[in-house]
Amino acid sequence: MDKTALTVRLAAPRGSCAGVERAITIVEQALERYGAPVYVRHEIVHNAFVVDRLRSLGAVFVDELDQVPDGVPVIFSAHGVSKSVAAEAERRGLLAVDATCPLVAKVHREVERHHRAGLPVVLIGHAGHPEVEGTLGQVPEGAVRLLERPEDVDALNLPTDSAVAYATQTTLSVDEARGLVDRLSARFPRLVGPAKEDICYATSNRQQAVKAIAPTVEALRVIGAANSSNSNRLVEVAAAHGCPDARLITGADDLDFDRLDGIRTLGLTAGASAPELLVQGVLDALRSRYTVTVEEVRVAEETTIFRLPPLPEREFPAAAD
């Protein structure tokens, strides 16, 4: 029986960004230099496929430093850590390797600079996200106010003639963040922002590609993890820009073919921590059921590469059995 024709509009850019690739490479190189185990505080990036592969090579993922034994290296994830975490690693004499995305580190420096200048600082982001926790932890507790919703702006107990500084999580919806910034600016005319917006180029580009595709497809699938901020924002952006059925999937095994029955146009993208291998896996699964025509919709070229930090030369004793 002939297969049904399906046009897949494939977003570009999509998938792993330079910060994610850098963090993964840091773990791989640490494993090569020191041997297993290498400990990683939190998921190096929010993608189970990536984490499971690194775990199979000898990476051990932990929630906190008290789970890291003495005498082994520990890597801080791409989301960054608070100063207290870095200080605890130093106090214990752990060899810490910082895989924080350079664009997250930029936000850290901004928040510190504004705090040192004596400005009230607000951070637009999602409570509990590792990146937000790390950013809040760059200054004394309570020094930065977290804003998640428009009503949080209205509730700020600050004089409206104050010079107020703001920063944002790097993986937010561009449109929602802009709305909050506009609300802040209307309430605090002396608002001070970053010289270049904090939402990273990869997040912005992937959202722009989804905006271009969403009105032209009957359904759209975002490959990513449930705890990935940028992946969830892509689903929201697709729904907000005309796609009637936008959903998050982890990969080919998560494809909901019953929901896709009868459609002729499907949008496909991947969050910034999802490798291209997962995209190709989804396309292969679709080809097993449909006659697939792929139309790539490209809105930007990405050439950013982040340099790797030097790994210390120190050798580590083998872990005890």
Structure confidence by residue, pLDDT tens digits, 87-103: 999 999 999 999 999 99
Structure confidence by residue, pLDDT tens digits, 35-51: 999 999 999 999 999 99
Length of the chain: 321
Above 50 in pLDDT, residue 316? no
Work out whether the CA dihedral 182, 207, 240, 123 comes out positive or negative: negative
Mean pLDDT computed over every residue of the chain: 95
C-alpha torsion angle, residues 88, 93, 98, 100 (rounded to 10): -10
Q: What is the pLDDT of residue 72?
A: 87
Report how far Cα 182 is from the mean position of its chain's Cα atoms: 24
In this prediction, residues 275-297 reach a mean pLDDT of: 98
Which residue from 250, 223, 228, 169 is spatially nearest to 42, judged by alpha carbons?
228
- The region of weakest confidence among 1-5, 68-72, 100-104, 209-213 is 1-5
On whether the CB atoms of residues 8 and 284 are closer than 8 A, the answer is no
Single-letter residue type at 252: A
In this prediction, residues 74-82 reach a mean pLDDT of: 97
End-to-end CA distance of the chain: 57
Q: What is the pTM of this model?
A: 0.93
CA distance 88 to 268: 42
Q: Which of 32, 131, 148, 218 is catalytic?
A: 131
**What are the distances in angstroms from CA 300 to CA 71, 203, 257, 295, 303?**
45, 12, 30, 15, 10
CA distance 35 to 45: 21
At 314, is the pLDDT very low, low, confident or very high (cuts 50, 70, 90)?
Answer: low
Above 50 in pLDDT, residue 213? yes
The reply to whether 176 belongs to the active site is no
On whether the CB atoms of residues 206 and 170 are closer than 8 A, the answer is no
Above 70 in pLDDT, residue 1? no
What number of CA atoms fall less than 13 Å from residue 146's CA on the CB side?
Answer: 17
Q: What is the pLDDT of residue 315?
A: 52
CA distance 175 to 124: 13
In this prediction, residues 163-189 reach a mean pLDDT of: 96
As a whole number of angstroms, the longest Cα–Cα distance in the chain is 71
At 195, is the pLDDT very low, low, confident or very high (cuts 50, 70, 90)?
Answer: confident
CA distance 52 to 48: 6
Tokens encoding 107 = 């936000």
Q: Which domains does the chain have, with CATH numbers?
A: 4-16+201-298 (3.40.1010.20), 18-101 (3.40.50.11270), 103-187 (3.40.1010.20)
- The region of weakest confidence among 167-181, 182-196, 304-318 is 304-318
